[in-house]
């Protein structure tokens, strides 16, 4: 089976009806990047910068951070890398940063909330990314954005840092793309204002689903409570892909569901064309995409959009079986 996936490495993730799907990797350690060539991934769709922070015992200064990001860009070569700014707090703590205690950490002081309240940290991180990029393409993504105003504030800090870099005579990135995660449902009802201000959007379905269902993503007692293939989730993605179509804003799904073939199939059927996942999922998802007629599945999913069932899993499994 592994050999079968390896054979797909140089083949495009293109559906039977000619739809191209971009498949990228989620990464956080340099070791994850070793999988780039092996999987034939289109880039790093999500680089979780908190991971290298978590494995250190002291706060990495700007040169140390820049060195990490430079190596990531070098390994990725000419493929794009999407750097997500720190998502600490919640369940991800740093031994050298006191984030206090929240009763509901997932909804607490984390990610961009810390970044905007402690702008020195965010500033240093952005400075390191600009430094690391040199004249390369730089993509920066802000996590846990709940309001357009937060993106505007974060972007202002980034613009400042770009200006400072220019004033210092530094080489600037040949292209800068800015995006946000979509993990907080409130963002869904600010899409026109949001997408006119960003280049891309990436759905963090792990957090998004826990907020949509008010269901802790880490609780074993709740792990079977709601299904990722429920009508609500499917309708969310359909609405999202319709609202962003023709906007020029690329939408990626980078939560765990994007790496599961049945879920990935549904996402493609709902109109998504960019998925980011762990290395082991690229082969199976590509094999699925290459045997799928995306438009036919779209019709099927539209037909079942008001299903009273808790999940479309059984239906979709049947569909996958009957259609190769
Ligand atoms: C997500 O929430 O789906 C996501 C990709 O971010 P993380 O898993 O790092 O919270
Ligand atoms: Mg998340």
Question: What pLDDT, in 10s, does the model give residues 220-232?
Answer: 999 899 999 999 9
CA distance to 31, 36, 231, 284, per residue, from 68 (Å): 12, 17, 41, 30
- The helices-and-strands tally (H runs, E runs) of the chain is 15, 8
Task: State the greatest distance between any 2 C-alpha atoms of the chain, in Å, as a whole number.
Answer: 61
Query: Would the pTM count as exceeding 0.80?
Result: yes
Residue to substitute in 49, 88, 92, 143 for testing ligand 1 pocket (most ligand atoms within 8 angstroms of CB): 143
Q: Token digits for 106?
A: 């997932």
Name which residue sits closest to atom 10 of ligand 1, judged by CA.
207
* CA 183 to ligand 1: nearest atom: 2
What is the model's pLDDT at position 290?
Answer: 97
Q: Which phi and psi (to 5°) does residue 252 adopt?
A: -115, 150
Residue 246: how many CB atoms within 10 A of its CB? 7
Q: What is the pLDDT of residues 34-72, one digit of tens each?
A: 888 889 999 999 999 999 999 999 999 999 999 999 999
Tell me, in angstroms, the distance from the centre of ligand 1 to residue 296's CA.
Answer: 30
- Label residue 31 by pLDDT band (50, 70, 90): confident
Q: Nearest Cα to 89, choosing from 112, 69, 59?
A: 112
Instruction: Please name which of 199, 207, 230 lies closest in space to residue 146, comparing C-alpha atoms.
Output: 207
Alpha-helical segments (H) within 142-293: 148-167, 191-195, 205-212, 231-244, 261-269, 279-290
Beta-strand pair 274-277/81-84: unpaired
Nearest CA to ligand 1 atom 3: 204
Nearest to 190 by CA among 154, 157, 148: 148
Ligand 2 ion local residues (Cβ < 5 A): 183, 204, 207
Counting Cβ atoms within 10 Å, is residue 140 exposed (0-12), middle (13-18) or buried (19+)?
buried
What's the average model confidence in pLDDT over 149-158? 98
> Of the residues 254, 258, 278, which should be mutated to test ligand 1's pocket, given the most ligand atoms within 8 Å of the CB?
254
ipTM associated with this complex: 0.99
Say yes or no to pLDDT of 1 above 90: no
Cα 181 to ligand 2 centre (Å): 8
Q: Give the model's pLDDT for residue 147.
A: 98
**Per-residue tokens: 55:** 């494995």
Across residues 195-222, what is the average pLDDT?
96
Query: Tens of pLDDT along 234-281?
Result: 999 999 999 999 999 999 999 999 999 999 999 999 999 999 999 999
Cα–Cα distances in angstroms (integers) from residue 303 to residues 164, 252, 288, 291, 296, in the given order? 53, 24, 22, 21, 11
DSSP labels, 64-132: HHHHHHHHHHHHHTTS-EEEEP---BTTB--TT------SSGGGSS-THHHHHHSHHHHHHHHHHHHHH
């Amino acid at each position: 089976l592994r050999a079968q996936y390896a054979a797909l490495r140089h083949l495009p993730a293109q559906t039977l009806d000619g739809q191209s799907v971009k498949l990228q990797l989620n990464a956080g350690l340099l070791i994850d990047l070793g999988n780039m060539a092996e999987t034939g991934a289109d880039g790093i769709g999500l680089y979780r910068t908190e991971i290298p922070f978590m494995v250190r015992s002291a706060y990495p200064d700007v040169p140390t951070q820049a060195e990490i990001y430079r190596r990531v860009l070098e390994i990725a070569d000419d493929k794009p890398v999407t750097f997500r700014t720190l998502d600490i707090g919640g369940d991800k703590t740093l031994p050298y940063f006191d984030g206090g205690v929240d009763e509901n950490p997932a909804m607490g002081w984390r990610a961009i909330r810390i970044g905007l309240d402690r702008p020195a940290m965010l500033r240093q991180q952005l400075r390191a990314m600009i430094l690391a990029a040199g004249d390369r393409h730089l993509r920066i993504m802000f996590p846990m954005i709940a309001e357009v105003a937060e993106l505007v504030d974060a972007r202002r800090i980034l613009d400042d840092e770009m200006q400072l870099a220019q004033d210092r005579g530094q080489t600037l990135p040949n292209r800068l793309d800015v995006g946000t995660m979509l993990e907080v449902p409130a963002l869904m009802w600010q899409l026109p204002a949001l997408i006119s201000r960003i280049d891309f959007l990436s759905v963090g379905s792990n957090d998004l689903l826990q907020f949509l269902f008010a269901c802790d993503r880490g609780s074993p007692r709740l792990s079977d409570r709601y299904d990722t293939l429920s009508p609500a989730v499917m309708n969310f993605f359909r609405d999202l892909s319709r609202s962003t179509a023709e906007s020029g804003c690329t939408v990626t799904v980078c939560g765990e569901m994007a790496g599961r073939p049945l879920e990935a199939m549904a996402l493609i059927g709902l109109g998504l064309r960019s998925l980011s996942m762990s290395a082991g999922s690229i082969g199976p998802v590509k094999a699925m995409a290459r045997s799928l007629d995306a438009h036919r599945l779209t019709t099927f999913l539209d037909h079942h959009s008001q299903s009273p069932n808790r999940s479309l899993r059984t239906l979709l499994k049947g569909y996958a079986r009957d259609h190769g």
